[in-house]
Chains A and B, each alone.
Chain A
Amino acid sequence: MFQRLSEAGPPTLPLTIDGNAALARPGDSVAATLIGAGHADCRTTPVSGSARGPYCLMGICFDCLVEIDGRPNQQGCMIEVQAGMQIVRQEGSRPVDVEATR
């Protein structure tokens, strides 16, 4: 598990994780936010349904994929948290929604 140094400052950004209200630290990536909140896993794989979590945090392992604001398979480590963001841990293959059509 990970803990926060006081230098980091308090989490003040409201967002939701799996529908639950949470506060994130401005400037954190989505992946760091999940890890900081104690979530080691962020998805299950399409191939076998195994649990996975962030591994490299530098954008090349693609294990940190989560749904952000309704868009699946986003690399959590490459995206900075925003107020009101809806982060959802995902299961298996991404859906292809009719609603996503704009």
Chain B
Amino acid sequence: MNPEESDVAVIGGGLVGAAIAYGLVRLGKRVVMLDEGDIAFRAARGNFGLVWVQGKGLGMPAYGAWTQLSARQWPALAESLRAESGVDVSLEQPGGLHLCLSERELEQRVATMTRMLGQPGFEGYPFETLDHAGVARYFPQIGPSVVGATHTLLDGHVNALRLFRALHAAFVALGGNYRANHGVDRIARESVGFAIDAGGRRHVSVQVVLAAGLGNAKLGDQVGLTVPVRPMRGQIIALERARRFMHYPMGALRQTDEGTVLIGDSQEEAGFDTTVGTPILATMADRAQRIFPLLRDVRITRTWAALRVMSPDGFPIYEQSQAAPGAFVASCHSGVTLAAAHAFDLVPQILAGSLEPRLSAFSTERFHVSKAV
């Protein structure tokens, strides 16, 4: 069988891989997206659907800027996806609130936001600190336990399942080659690019982008990239559909355009175990019903746990391999928020053959990790 040829091979069909692959086919490139099978780890399943800005970037101003860039470009992403896939991802960017259920929480939150905005070179934005009455203006049904919140106008959310479908549909509609059950066994550097063995066949491409989440660690080794990611278990509770009453997203609670109420957002080190644990669910449920007491009688239809991708400092990793130029890695925790930046901003840099200095903060050099040669 002749090897399949493409300009760029994107390894991984989750939110990161699909956004990058989509951005590439939009620019007319021949792209193959190599994805695993039905029961893969799929961090994308753990996403909460937020297009979230506030609070991001304490410890890395470049991340704050990157996030804001993506949020600004999100409307363009939503529009082009709608045009190319027919799917409306229901982007809403009305601003969002990070709720606090104690004075201590609120103090810590304001301190964090202030410290973050005060970093040298941080691209600032205004935020409000709200007391209970202030929160009640956004959510009349807010529970008495809510002490306050921080609010910015930059936050939003999107129908994440439809985003996923739209990215895949648009990718295929624009001529992209999607290969499921094609977990990558081997990547080798060739004279004019890379030879990738996946799904029992060989693919050759000029460039390759590792967007395989937790799989990037093993794949990275093959192309001279050391990618120190580990799984972080996040559990999510979904409630039955209700008539829309939450018109603004919160960091850990939101209602989709279809009415489903989603409760997140836990984080635990749990290895590769995706079983759902009742104490964490109980804490999440307790918090949610203190935020909205009227949710007490609303039923949970499902819970799930996904393994999200965590780097040592929690910030994204973007890097081109020095040992194997043309091989890139893209890894992040917030695949939905950064989808626009990935599709519209990272992609041209990949095609230009080098990542711009403004992304240098995201390279793995920051971990002082020695690279395989």
Count of CB-CB pairs between chains A and B under 8 Å:
39
Interface size on B, residues (CB 8 A): 17
- Find chain A residues with CB under 8 A from B294 CB: 96-98, 100-101
Max chain A C-beta neighbours (<10 A), residue from B141, B243, B258, B292: B243
- Find chain A residues with CB under 8 A from B259 CB: 46, 93
- Find chain B residues with CB under 8 A from A96 CB: 141, 242-243, 245, 292, 294-295, 298
Is B356's beta carbon under 8 Å from chain A? no
Is B45's beta carbon under 8 Å from chain A? no
Is B313's beta carbon under 8 Å from chain A? no
Which residue of the partner chain, among A71, A93, A97, contacts B241 with CB atoms under 8 Å? A93
- Find chain A residues with CB under 8 A from B258 CB: 46-47
Expressed in whole angstroms, the Cα–Cα distance for A73 and B258 within the complex equals 17
Expressed in whole angstroms, the Cα–Cα distance for A100 and B141 within the complex equals 11
Q: Chain A's nearest CB lies how many Å from the CB of B56?
A: 30
The answer to whether A95 and B243 have CB atoms under 8 Å apart is: yes
Chain A interface, DSSP helix/strand/loop, else mixed: loop
- Find chain A residues with CB under 8 A from B296 CB: 100-102
Given A46-B259, A71-B297, A93-B259, A98 and B243 contact (CB-CB distance below 8 Å): no
Max chain B C-beta neighbours (<10 A), residue from A95, A96, A100, A102: A96
The answer to whether B297 and A92 have CB atoms under 8 Å apart is: no
Expressed in whole angstroms, the Cα–Cα distance for A46 and B292 within the complex equals 22
Chain A 59-86, CB-CB to B under 8 Å as 1, else 0, gives 0000000000001010000000000000
- Find chain B residues with CB under 8 A from A98 CB: 140-141, 294
The answer to whether B299 and A73 have CB atoms under 8 Å apart is: yes
Q: List 7 A-B contacts (CB under 8 A).
A: A94-B241, A96-B245, A96-B295, A96-B298, A98-B141, A101-B293, A102-B296
On B, residues with C-beta under 8 Å from A are 140-141, 240-243, 245, 258-259, 292-299
Top 6 nearest A-B pairs (CB, nearest first) are A46-B241, A93-B241, A101-B293, A93-B259, A96-B242, A93-B243
